[in-house]
């Protein structure tokens, strides 16, 4: 089963139950179970009736003797027959009393076959075995029609007051007005071009050809559905919205794909007022790529003069690349779900999500069904009516966000249980590589999430394939990395108290935008060529320590020890990206967003920078000798290959091996 990609787990027994192998131990079983004596059923006053999965129907408990239990281990399990017998006798509420639901799905399949309205209720769940979970299960049984004695859950004095509920179903209606934008009027009157986008109202191409800027304003009054995305009690503009803005910016800059996007600081949806948004695209480099950054500022417009640049907060940085060939688009055609895909339990998915800190409102409750297909997760997602229509979006952020909900709240097959609510870690998008849009304005999609190897223990990496209802490609992500954030960090962002030391990333100036303004890599190569190998290492280690100290809020670089991991120093997702940005700006190198996770100590990053920069100074293989360290310097042709692989996706790595090395 494992070789076929199915989820399988070995049971610690040395024989196969319910098979002829049991015949070999039947005598021993009969001897061991010889002392088991049955007790009376309802006739003896117990009030409990017994349905057997050995016989497939109701039996008298007096028949549960030694021979019965031997047969119980030897014969097939007639579970479906027993459930059908219970349904035929009028039972409609089934409670699975276990430490984790394993039979609930099978019971529901039996109910569907019988076209019965019966309900299956679990009790405890793996990792959620406390009184709160059990009480929730009792409440589910009560809602299903079971009689419950609630007295144990409330104090006896004074007795709890009960309130009658209405006898009709609640009826909801959406009253948000769909508007194409805010109060800006005609952008042309301001010298801008209309962006024809629900959140980005205008666009401008800078006169000197240095780039593009898309602008907009978001607020609860004009885009109330965004306030439905609440994580750890904070209304966050979903990372999916920033991805969609990057796609729109790529389209504005003459097409292409989002090669990389690092989400460095959450964008909080204001409770009142609004936030101005700018998506800034830089000029094309020699290879045609463009830098991109996403900012927000005060909703009443940024200040002018003085320290006006400090009003802008940078939320994401990345790179726009050339358009991906159509041949790379992936479809999800054929039978859906595929044969062998096993349905996952989605009942109560969003209430469970709310209990875990993801309080998705109606606009973001788009998940309809989930299946497991080997290690992959499959899903069907619809755009909720409460999110408004898809018009103007490449992909509606509420739809794309719901695509990522199996990834955030459902562990990949074969993995252990995810973080419990008590651990208070919220999984959020961290980096996106290879984001391509193939069709716009989808409202119902099929999804395949494919687990990728993880670079760090506390991250999840996925390939994402999204297709429309007939399987035609809509969107693909080569590598989506999710990392956990502490609720305290999100709340500090909400209150504006985030600092570099606390992982907030803080407010940045416009001049530190997408473009890296600093010494070029050629300048650094020339500088290093004049130094000894040891001084090359010391120079770049000092650079790394200086910038790391600044990001962490230290006044002295001595606080950053060269051989201590960045994690121990206090780095996490947002500060790690900020350090990458600073080093990229200082050296002129294009560095991967996950730099500090690939090279987890300052000395490791320093060695990486030495190899990258000194490769331009010489093609001769030498050795760099540093204190207690010796790192070989590669020839230039090998180094260029390594550089190409630095920020490559998994698919690009395989393509490189095939094309460059002649193997597959």
Pick from 468, 475, 449: which is nearest to 460 by CA?
449
Pick from 601, 589, 590, 643: which is nearest to 626 by CA?
601
537-554: buried (b, 16+ CB within 10 Å) or exposed (e) per residue?
A: bbbbbebbbbbbbbbbeb
Assess contact for 583 and 543: CB atoms under 8 A: yes
Q: What is the C-alpha separation between 102 and 96, in angstroms, rounded?
A: 8
Residues 498 and 469 in one domain: no
- Of the residues 478, 512, 546, the one at which a domain ends: 512
> Domain for residue 25, yes or no?
yes
Q: Which residue has the tokens 């190897």?
A: 453
Pick from 291, 263, 294: which is nearest to 584 by CA?
291
Domain that holds residue 376: 328-487
> Domain for residue 179, yes or no?
no
Pairing label, strands 460-468, 444-452? antiparallel
- Using CA atoms, how far residue 592 sits from 293, 498, 521, 644, 648, in Å, is 15, 24, 15, 11, 9
Q: In sequence order, what DSSP letters do the residues of 78-122 get, joined into one string?
A: -HHHHHHHHHHTT--EEEE-SSS-SSHHHHHHHHHHTT---EEEE
Q: Using only C-alpha atoms, what is the Rg of the chain?
A: 30
Residues 321 and 388 in one domain: no
Residue 214 CB neighbours (<10 A): 26
Q: What percent of the chain has pLDDT over 90?
A: 38
Most trustworthy range by pLDDT among 135-144, 172-181, 394-403 = 394-403
Q: In sequence order, what DSSP letters do the residues of 475-510 get, joined into one string?
A: EEEEEEEEEEE-HHHHHHHHHT---TTTT------G
Residues 254 and 336 in one domain: no
Q: What is the C-alpha separation between 549 and 622, in angstroms, rounded?
A: 31
73-82, 488-497, 639-648: range with lowest mean pLDDT? 639-648
206-210, 231-235, 523-527: range with lowest mean pLDDT? 523-527
Mean pLDDT of 92-113: 89
> Domain for residue 154, yes or no?
no
Residues 582 and 592 in one domain: yes
Q: What's the confidence (pLDDT) of residue 310?
A: 57
CATH number, domain with residue 137: 3.40.366.10
387-421: buried (b, 16+ CB within 10 Å) or exposed (e) per residue?
A: bbebebbbbbbbbbbbbbbbbbbbebbeeeebbee
pLDDT digits (tens, 9 = 90+) for 604-640: 999 999 988 877 554 333 333 333 333 333 333 433 4
The mean pLDDT of the chain is 80
Residues 385 and 398 in one domain: yes
pLDDT digits (tens, 9 = 90+) for 274-332: 899 999 999 988 888 899 999 999 876 666 555 555 578 899 999 998 888 887 788 88
126-140, 481-495, 561-575, 638-652: range with lowest mean pLDDT? 638-652
Give the three-state DSSP class for 56.
Answer: coil
Where are the extended beta strands (E) located within 332-375? 342-343, 358-360, 367-373
Residues 65 and 207 in one domain: no
43-57: buried (b, 16+ CB within 10 Å) or exposed (e) per residue?
A: eeeeeeeebbbbbbb
Peptide bond into 337 cis (omega under 30): yes
- Of the residues 149, 177, 210, the one at which a domain ends: 149
- pLDDT band with cut points at 50, 70 and 90 for residue 421: very low
Pairing label, strands 93-96, 119-122? parallel
Helix%, strand%, coil% for the chain, nearest 5: 35, 20, 45
The token duo for 336 is: 């859906």
Q: What is the C-alpha separation between 613 and 523, in angstroms, rounded?
A: 9
Residues 77 and 200 in one domain: no
> Domain for residue 163, yes or no?
no
Residues 475 and 501 in one domain: no
Q: What's the confidence (pLDDT) of residue 508?
A: 34
Q: What's the confidence (pLDDT) of residue 329?
A: 82
Q: What's the confidence (pLDDT) of residue 172?
A: 66
Pick from 552, 337, 375: which is nearest to 451 by CA?
375
Mean pLDDT of 79-101: 94
Number of domains in the chain: 4
51-55, 233-237, 626-630: range with lowest mean pLDDT? 626-630
Most trustworthy range by pLDDT among 121-130, 146-155, 560-569, 612-621 = 560-569
Contacts of 254 (CB under 8 A, 6+ apart): none
Residues 348 and 395 in one domain: yes
> Domain for residue 351, yes or no?
yes
- pLDDT band with cut points at 50, 70 and 90 for residue 513: very low
> Domain for residue 174, yes or no?
no
Name which residue leads in pLDDT, 79 or 580. Answer: 79
> Domain for residue 84, yes or no?
yes
Residue 567 CB neighbours (<10 A): 16
Assess contact for 614 and 533: CB atoms under 8 A: no
- Using CA atoms, how far residue 654 sits from 358, 451, 480, 579, in Å, is 36, 16, 18, 29
- pLDDT band with cut points at 50, 70 and 90 for residue 418: very low
> Domain for residue 2, yes or no?
no
Residues 454 and 335 in one domain: yes
Residues 91 and 121 in one domain: yes
Mean pLDDT of 643-653: 48
Q: Which residue has the tokens 């719901």?
A: 402
Q: What is the C-alpha separation between 25 and 70, in angstroms, rounded?
A: 10
Pick from 424, 543, 557, 568: which is nearest to 484 by CA?
424
Q: Which residue has the tokens 């692989």?
A: 645
Give the three-state DSSP class for 317.
Answer: strand
- Of the residues 131, 149, 167, the one at which a domain ends: 149
CATH number, domain with residue 279: 3.10.129.110
The token duo for 662 is: 């002649």
Q: What's the confidence (pLDDT) of residue 212?
A: 93
Q: Which residue has the tokens 């008298």?
A: 60
288-297, 381-390, 420-429: range with lowest mean pLDDT? 420-429
Q: Torsion over CA of 642, 648, 652 and 657, rounded to 10 degrees? A: 20
Where are the extended beta strands (E) located within 176-312? 193-194, 202-205, 212-218, 229-231, 234-237, 257-263, 267-268, 275-281, 290-298
pLDDT digits (tens, 9 = 90+) for 317-367: 999 988 888 877 888 888 899 999 999 988 889 988 888 889 999 999 999
Name which residue leads in pLDDT, 319 or 644. Answer: 319
Residues 466 and 338 in one domain: yes
């Amino acid at each position: 089963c494992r070789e076929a990609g199915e989820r399988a787990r070995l049971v610690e027994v040395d024989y196969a139950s319910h098979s002829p192998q049991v015949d070999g131990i039947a005598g021993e079983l009969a001897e061991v179970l010889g002392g088991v004596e049955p007790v009376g059923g309802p006739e003896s006053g117990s009030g409990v009736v017994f349905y057997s999965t050995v016989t497939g129907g109701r039996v008298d408990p007096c028949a549960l003797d030694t021979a019965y239990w031997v047969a119980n281990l030897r014969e097939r399990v007639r579970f479906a027959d027993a459930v059908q017998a219970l349904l035929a006798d009028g039972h409609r509420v089934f409670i699975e009393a276990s430490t984790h639901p394993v039979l609930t799905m099978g019971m529901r399949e039996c109910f569907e076959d019988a076209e019965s309205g019966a309900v299956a209720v679990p009790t405890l769940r793996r990792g959620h075995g406390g009184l709160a979970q059990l009480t929730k299960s009792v409440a589910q049984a009560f809602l299903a029609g079971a009689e419950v004695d609630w007295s144990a859950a409330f104090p006896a004095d004074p007795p709890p007051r009960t309130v009658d509920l209405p006898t009709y179903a609640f009826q909801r209606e959406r009253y948000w007005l769909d508007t194409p934008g805010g109060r800006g009027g005609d952008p042309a009157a301001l010298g801008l071009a209309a962006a024809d986008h629900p959140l980005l109202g205008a666009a401008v191409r800078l006169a000197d050809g240095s780039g593009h800027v898309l602008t907009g304003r978001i607020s609860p009054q004009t885009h109330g559905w965004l306030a439905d995305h609440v994580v750890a009690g904070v209304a966050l503009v979903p990372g999916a919205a920033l991805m969609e803005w990057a796609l729109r910016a790529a389209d504005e800059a003459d097409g292409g794909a989002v090669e990389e996007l690092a989400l460095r600081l959450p964008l909080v949806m204001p409770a009142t007022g609004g936030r101005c948004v700018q998506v800034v695209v830089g000029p094309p480099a020699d290879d045609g790529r463009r830098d991109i950054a996403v900012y927000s500022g005060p909703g009443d417009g940024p200040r002018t003069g003085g320290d006006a640049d400090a009003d802008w907060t940078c939320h994401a940085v990345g790179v726009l690349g050339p358009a991906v060939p159509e041949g790379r688009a992936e479809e999800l055609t054929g039978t859906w779900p595929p044969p062998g895909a096993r349905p996952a339990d989605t009942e109560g998915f969003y209430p469970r999500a709310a209990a875990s800190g993801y309080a998705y409102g109606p606009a973001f409750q788009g998940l309809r069904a989930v299946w497991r297909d080997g290690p992959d997760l499959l899903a069907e997602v619809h755009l909720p009516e409460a999110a408004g229509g898809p018009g103007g979006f490449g992909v509606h952020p509420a739809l794309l966000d719901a695509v990522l909900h199996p990834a955030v709240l459902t562990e990949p097959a074969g993995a252990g249980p995810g973080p419990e609510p008590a651990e208070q870690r919220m999984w959020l998008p961290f980096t996106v590589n290879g984001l391509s849009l193939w069709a716009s304005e989808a409202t119902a999609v099929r999804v395949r999430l494919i687990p990728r190897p993880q670079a760090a223990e506390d991250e999840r990496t996925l390939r994402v394939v999204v297709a429309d209802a007939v399987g035609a490609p809509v969107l693909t992500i080569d590598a989506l990395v999710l990392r956990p954030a502490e609720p305290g960090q999100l709340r500090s962002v909400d209150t504006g108290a985030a600092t570099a030391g606390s992982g907030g990333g803080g407010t940045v100036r416009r001049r530190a935008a997408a473009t890296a303004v600093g010494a070029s890599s050629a300048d650094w190569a020339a500088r290093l060529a004049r130094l000894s190998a040891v001084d090359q290492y010391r120079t770049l280690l000092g650079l790394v320590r200086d910038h790391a100290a600044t990001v962490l809020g230290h006044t002295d670089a001595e606080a950053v020890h060269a051989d201590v991991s960045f994690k121990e120093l206090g780095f996490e997702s947002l500060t790690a990206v900020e350090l990458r940005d600073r080093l990229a700006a200082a050296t002129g190198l294009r560095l991967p967003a996950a730099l500090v996770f690939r090279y987890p100590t300052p000395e490791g990053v320093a060695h990486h920078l030495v190899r990258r920069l000194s490769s331009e100074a010489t093609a001769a293989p030498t050795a760099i000798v540093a204190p207690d360290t010796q790192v070989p310097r590669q020839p230039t042709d090998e180094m260029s290959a390594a550089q190409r692989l630095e920020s490559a996706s998994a698919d690009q790595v395989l393509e490189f091996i095939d094309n460059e090395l002649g193997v597959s």
